Amino acid sequence: MVQRITISQHQYQAQNGGQEADAIIQLQTPQVHYLMRVLRLNVGDRFIAQNGQGQQWLVEITPTTNEAQVVKTLTPRSVQPESAIRLIAALPKGNRFDEVVRQTTELGVTHIHPVIAQRTLLKPSDNKLARWRRIAQEASEQSERITVPEIFEPVSFQQCIQHPIWEGEHARADAKETFQNLSSELRYICAARANNQSLKEGSVKEGSGREGSVPTVHLLADLLTHQSANLASATLPSIVLAIGPEGGWTPDEITVAINNSYKVASLGSVILRAVTAPVTALSLVASVRDLLI
């Protein structure tokens, strides 16, 4: 197995008119320690460098007297782009979101949006975001992902749902592409289970235009149904998954999601912990995705 590390953009330095085969990568001291002391690589050994945004290079360690090691690029690697899978996750108590980040990264999530829900107890500290991003980078390298998930600042659930940051990203693209991206996006708010009493009569507030009982789909069944209806497509469209906190979503939050084109989805007949539900949901998405490869 060829080892890999993630580099930042400023570490990659093109040479001789920008030819990738002549580029060099300036490694940071911790990266040198990891490659030379932990992995015990030597001068002349090769590994994969990636920028976490879909680009990879096969590189070779070269002799140097500098504290930071210089490597030269041998060849860029061709990689397939990943379908967007966004996870909106209410923050659990303690440090348990670390495991959510690590395991959903291994399963293919591309964007993680931590949110503060009405039943959220955790108020994250300022250094949490940097920690989550470091965990995502390590998990991406370990699982041989071509990208590192982008992790955003925690915001309120309603702000994330009603003013999604990715629609602003689409708005900067071509208008026709924008319409196609938004119209094909699959959005799910995952409830505790299909027969959850909170989804019975009256769970949707009056004035929403959707009074009454809430139709619930099983996430896996709905994804398979969608793909059966779009057999010509070799990939899944963009997917957004919203996972609630301990105690689940409130009726108000479910109403907001439904009014923003989210389907209420079940992950099965059992109650899952707040840290288990994101992994279960991503596993179901990965199962469908892998059937298409």
Residue-range domains of the chain with CATH: 4-77 (2.40.240.20), 85-291 (3.40.1280.10)
User: For residue 174, what pLDDT is reported?
Assistant: 43
Mean pLDDT (whole number) for 182-189: 80
The pLDDT-based confidence of 65 (bands split at 50, 70, 90) is very low
Inform me whether the pLDDT recorded for 254 exceeds 90: yes
Q: Percent of the chain scored above 70 by pLDDT?
A: 74
Arithmetic mean of pLDDT, 70-99? 80
Give the residue, 180 or 183, on which the prediction is more confident.
Answer: 183
Q: What is the predicted pLDDT for the residue at 22?
A: 62
Q: If phi over 0 gives left and psi between -120 and 50 gives alpha, with beta otherwise, what is residue 44? A: left
What 133-140 contacts at long range (C-beta under 8 Å, 24+ apart), as own/partner pairs, is 135/98, 135/101, 135/102, 135/105, 136/101, 136/102, 136/105, 136/112, 137/6, 137/52, 138/102, 139/101, 139/102, 139/103, 139/105, 139/106, 140/6, 140/52, 140/105
pLDDT band (50, 70, 90) for residue 208: very low
Is 80's pLDDT higher than 50? Answer: yes
17-31, 121-135, 260-274: which range is least confident on average? Answer: 17-31
Of 163 and 16, the structure prediction assigns the larger pLDDT to 163
**Residue 53 gets which letter from DSSP?**
B
What was the pLDDT predicted at 199? 52
Res. 173 pLDDT band, cuts 50 70 90: very low
Give bridge partners of residue 190 from the DSSP assignment.
Answer: 243, 265
User: In the Cβ-directed half-sphere of 34, how many Cα atoms lie within 13 Å?
Assistant: 12
pLDDT band for 90, please (50, 70, 90 cuts): very high
**pLDDT greater at residue 150 or residue 199:** 150
Residue 46 pLDDT > 60:
yes
Query: What's the pLDDT at 19?
Result: 55
> What single letter denotes the amino acid at residue 57?
W
Is pLDDT larger for residue 70 or for residue 218? 218
Supply the pLDDT for residue 38.
Answer: 85
- Pull the structure tokens for residue 204: 């949707």
pLDDT at residue 60 greater than cutoff 70: yes
Determine the Cα–Cα distance for residues 128 and 96; give it in Å rounded to an integer: 12
Q: Helices 219-228 and 276-291, interaxial angle, to 10°? A: 20
pLDDT surpasses 90 at 44: no
Looking at per-residue pLDDT, the higher value among 47 and 212 belongs to 47
Q: Is the pLDDT of residue 126 over 90?
A: no
- Residue written as tokens 């949490």? 128
Per-residue pLDDT at 74 exceeds 80: no
Mean pLDDT of the chain: 79
Q: What is the pLDDT of residue 244?
A: 94
DSSP 227: H
pTM of the model: 0.76
